[in-house]
């Protein structure tokens, strides 16, 4: 699971204490979700 920079759209695997994009210095990220789809069956 990583974080996607909203500015340069790069995926950062590790974020240190200071959350900043190592590429562009942006501070807003999207959390990447693991690709698992849960299905709930309605009864």
Residues that bind Zn ion (CB under 5 A): 5, 7-8, 21, 23-24, 26
Residue written as token pair 């501070």: 27
Dihedral, CA of residue 14, residue 1, residue 25 and residue 19, to nearest 10: -60
CB of 43 to Zn ion, least distance (A): 45
Which residue, 8 or 30, has its beta carbon nearer to Zn ion? 8
CB of 7 to Zn ion, least distance (A): 4
Which residue, 7 or 17, has its beta carbon nearer to Zn ion? 7
The whole-angstrom separation of Cα 43 and Cα 35 is 25
């Amino acid at each position: 699971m990583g974080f996607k920079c909203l500015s340069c759209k790069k995926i950062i695997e590790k974020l240190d204490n200071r959350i900043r994009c190592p590429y562009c210095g942006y501070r807003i990220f999207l959390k990447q979700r693991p690709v698992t789809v849960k299905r709930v069956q309605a009864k």
